[in-house]
């Protein structure tokens, strides 16, 4: 009996996790796949339609448009986010900076701001009138003569969303990179100093290669998070002076993302089958982009290990 309890103890400890995973992850995943092959409005009976929802998803152009919008926002966001977070983390971790905890707290604070508060804040900043903070500053400096309608412009709307996300999520990345820089052995820097290496060479030849696993991790997680963009574009256009309604995607649907399209189909139009098809389409896109990114960043490693 004693031996039996020792053997079963690990499984008993793991059982709650697996039960929760099955109940709240595996079953919803399977049910979503089932729903994507059916039509259901939440009230009437379920009707099997096969791949009709997936066919509609590409024929009406909504999925392609949402994918394009999301990809453009990510292309503006992720490179800047990685560069800023690495540079900020390296500066905070340097010996020249004192009171490091204050800087860490200041950088991480935007990540803790609730989305609706951030949406209201940035909607005020980018207000198209003279009362908008950005316009007021630029006009005060005589850079602009007339206020710009940032949120009403299909071209500038994506830039605004990318800026908001950059402000909100850079601090999250900074903490990971600080942990990476801290883990680099000091002996490597001492040996480099003996050889006469300068700070830039230490950063480029020691620090960056040593935190490569963290860079790969942040790229993959940023891709996954980027494809799930919802709060920023949805809130910014349901608050303030540029309300176009929930799931609207802003002017000319220019910031309609994949998650917004899924929500529009499932919750606004009560087309749960179509919304489920968009969800699975999004899952495939995320998996493909994550795999490509992982292979690309591990291109120099023969074994492909992170």
Contacts of 77 (CB under 8 A, 6+ apart): 162, 165, 166, 222, 226
Is the separation of the CB atoms in 111 and 169 below 8 Å? yes
Is the separation of the CB atoms in 236 and 160 below 8 Å? yes
Q: Is 232 a residue whose pLDDT tops 90?
A: no
- Report which of 220, 225, 223 is spatially closest to residue 294, judged by C-alpha positions: 220
Q: Looking at residue 2, what is its pLDDT?
A: 55
Q: Looking at residue 306, what is its pLDDT?
A: 42
- Encode pLDDT of 48-102 as tens digits: 999 999 999 888 888 999 999 999 999 999 999 999 999 999 999 887 788 888 9
Which residue did the predictor score with more confidence, 164 or 249?
A: 164
Contacts of 97 (CB under 8 A, 6+ apart): 91, 103
Residue 206: how many CB atoms within 10 A of its CB?
17
Output the average pLDDT for the chain: 87
Q: Is 127 a residue whose pLDDT tops 50?
A: yes
* Fold exhibited by the domain 46-112+155-298: MetI-like fold (1.10.3720)
Is the separation of the CB atoms in 274 and 57 below 8 Å? yes
- Report which of 171, 149, 144, 169 is spatially closest to residue 160, judged by C-alpha positions: 149
Residue 197: how many CB atoms within 10 A of its CB?
16
Q: Looking at residue 299, what is its pLDDT?
A: 63
Using alpha carbons only, give the angle 230, 232, 236 rounded to the nearest 5 degrees.
120
- Encode pLDDT of 8-55 as tens digits: 778 888 889 999 999 999 999 999 999 999 999 888 889 999 999 999
Q: Looking at residue 305, what is its pLDDT?
A: 45
> Distances from the Cα of 285 to the Cαs of 9, 35, 67, 164, 228, in angstroms?
40, 19, 9, 24, 11
- Encode pLDDT of 130-159 as tens digits: 778 888 888 888 888 888 888 888 889 999
Q: Is 117 a residue whose pLDDT tops 80?
A: yes
Residues forming a β-bridge with 48: 38
Got the DSSP string for 273-286? HHHHHHHHHHHHHH
Residue 23: how many CB atoms within 10 A of its CB?
10
Helix H or strand E segment including 75: helix 62-93
For the chain, domain boundaries: 46-112+155-298
Q: Which two tokens mark 125?
A: 């900043």
């Amino acid at each position: 009996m004693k031996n039996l309890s020792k053997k079963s103890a690990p499984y008993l400890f793991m059982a709650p996790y697996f039960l929760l995973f099955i109940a709240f992850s595996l079953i919803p995943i399977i049910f979503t796949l089932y729903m994507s092959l059916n039509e259901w409005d939440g009230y009437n009976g379920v009707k099997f339609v096969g791949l009709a929802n997936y066919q509609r998803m590409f024929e009406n152009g909504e999925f392609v448009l949402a994918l394009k919008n999301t990809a453009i926002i990510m292309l503006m966001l992720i490179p800047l986010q990685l560069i800023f977070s690495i540079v900020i983390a390296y500066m905070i971790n340097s010996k020249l900076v004192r009171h490091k905890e204050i800087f860490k707290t200041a950088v991480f604070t935007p990540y803790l701001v609730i989305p609706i508060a951030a949406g209201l804040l940035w909607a005020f900043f980018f207000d198209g009138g003279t009362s908008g903070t950005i316009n007021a500053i630029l006009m005060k400096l005589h850079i602009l003569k007339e206020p710009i309608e940032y949120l009403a412009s299909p071209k500038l709307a994506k830039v605004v969303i990318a800026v908001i996300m950059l402000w909100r999520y850079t601090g999250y990345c900074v903490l990971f990179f600080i942990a990476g820089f801290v883990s680099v052995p000091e002996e490597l820097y001492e040996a480099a100093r003996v050889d006469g290496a300068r700070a830039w060479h230490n950063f480029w030849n020691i620090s960056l290669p040593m935190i490569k696993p963290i860079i790969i991790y942040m790229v993959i997680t940023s891709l996954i998070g980027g494809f799930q963009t919802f709060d920023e574009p949805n809130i910014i256009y349901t608050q303030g002076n540029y309300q176009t309604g929930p799931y609207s995607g802003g002017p000319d649907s220019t910031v309609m993302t994949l998650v917004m399209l899924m929500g529009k189909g499932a919750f606004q139009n009560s087309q749960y089958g179509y919304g489920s098809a968009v969800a699975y389409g999004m899952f495939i896109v995320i998996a493909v982009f994550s795999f490509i990114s992982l292979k690309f960043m591990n291109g120099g490693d023969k074994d492909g290990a992170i």
